[in-house]
Chains A and B, each alone.
Chain A
Amino acid sequence: MENDQDKIINNVTSGEYKYGFHSDIEIDSIPKGLNEDVIRNISLRKEEPEWLLEYRLEAFRHWQTMTIPQWANLKIPDIDFQDIIYYAAPKKKQGGSQHANSIDPELKKTFEKLGIPLEEQNHLAGVAVDAVMDSVSVKTTFKEILAEEGIIFSSFSDAVKEYPDLVRRYLGTVVPHTDNFFAALNSAVFSDGSFCYIPKGVRCPMELSTYFRINAANTGQFERTLLIADEESYVSYLEGCTAPMRDENQLHAAIVEIIVENNAEVKYSTVQNWYPGDKEGKGGIFNFVTKRGLCRGENSKISWTQVETGSSITWKYPSCILKGDNSTGEFYSVAVTNNYQQADTGTKMIHIGRNTKSTIVSKGISAGHAQNSYRGLVRVLKKASGSRNFSQCDSLLLGDKCGAHTFPYIEVDNQTSIVEHEATTSKIGEDQIFYCNQRGISTEDAIGLIVNGYAREILNKLPMEFAVEAQKLLQISLEGSVG
Chain B
Amino acid sequence: MNVHNDCRERYHKLYEKNIEKIKAKSSPYVNACREPAFEKFMQLGIPTTKNENYRYTDLSHFFNYDYKNYFLPGREDFLKAEQFRCNVPDLDTHGIILLNGFYPTLTDKLRELPGGIMVGSLNEAAKTFGDKIAQHYNRFINGDSDGLVHLNTAMAFDGIFVYVPSGVKLQKPVQVVNLVDSDNDIFNQHRNLIIVEKNADLTLIICDHTLSPQKFLTNAVTEVYVGEDSHFDIIRVQNEHNNAAKITHTFIHQEKNSTASSNNITLHGGLVRNSTHHFLGGEGAECSAYGLYLSDKFQHIDNYINVNHAFPNCRSNQLFKGVLDDMAKGVFNGRIYVMKDAQGTVAYQKNNSILLTDDAVMDTKPQLEIYADDVKCSHGATIGQLDEDALFYLQSRGIDRREAQLMLMFAFAHEVIQNINVEALRERMDSLVMQRLRGELSRCANCMVKCG
Contacts and interface: CB of A to CB of B under 8 A. Distances in A.
Contact of B385 (A398, A411, A415, A424): A415
Given A412-B361, A415-B355, A415-B357, A406 B367 contact: yes
A397 to B, nearest CB: 4
Contacts of B378: 422-425
Interface string B351-369: 0010111111111111111
Contacts of B373: 397-400, 402, 427
Contact of B380 (A411, A416, A422, A427): A422
A71 B52 contact: yes
B382 A420 contact: yes
A426 B368 CA distance: 11
A426 B382 contact: no
B384 interface: yes
A426 B347 CA distance: 11
A382 interface: yes
Interface in B165-198: none
Interface string A401-428: 0111111111111111111111111110
B375 A397 contact: yes
Contacts of A406: 366-368, 379
B371 interface: yes
Nearest to B360: A415
Given A403-B370, A405-B369, A425-B368, A411 B377 contact: no
B367 to A, nearest CB: 5
Main SS at interface, chain A: strand
B361 A416 contact: no
Given A398-B373, A418-B385, A426-B375, A409 B380 contact: no
A385 interface: yes
Given A397-B373, A406-B368, A412-B355, A423 B380 contact: yes
B372 interface: yes
B22 interface: no
Contact of B371 (A403, A417, A426): A403
B376 interface: yes
A300 interface: no
Nearest to A408: B366
Contacts of A420: 380-382, 384
A415 B356 contact: yes
Given A400-B343, A422-B378, A422-B380, A415 B370 contact: no
10 contacts: A406-B368, A406-B379, A410-B364, A410-B383, A411-B362, A412-B363, A415-B355, A415-B356, A415-B360, A425-B375
A417 B371 CA distance: 34
B374 interface: yes
Contacts of B52: 71
Interface string A137-162: 00000000000000000000000000
Main SS at interface, chain B: strand
Contacts, number: 111
A398 B355 CA distance: 40
A426 B380 CA distance: 15
A395 interface: yes
A63 B243 CA distance: 43
Contacts of A73: 369
Nearest to A405: B369
Size category of the A interface is 35 or more
Size category of the B interface is 35 or more
Interface string B384-399: 1100000000000000
Given A407-B365, A408-B365, A410-B362, 10 more contacts: A382-B358, A400-B343, A400-B373, A403-B371, A406-B368, A410-B363, A411-B363, A413-B361, A414-B358, A421-B382
Interface in B375-425: 375-385
B383 A418 contact: yes
Interface string A63-76: 00000000101000
A227 B215 CA distance: 55
A388 B241 CA distance: 35
Given A400-B372, A425-B375, A412 B356 contact: no
B19 to A, nearest CB: 34
Contacts of B56: 411
A137 B59 CA distance: 52
B38 to A, nearest CB: 27
B382 A419 contact: yes
Contacts of B365: 407-410
Contacts of B358: 382, 385, 413-416
Nearest to A390: B382
Contact of A400 (B361, B364, B374): B374
A73 B371 CA distance: 13
Interface in A142-189: none
A418 B382 contact: yes
B140 to A, nearest CB: 25
Contacts of A382: 358-359
Closest 7 CB pairs of A and B: A397-B373, A418-B384, A406-B368, A424-B378, A425-B377, A412-B383, A403-B371
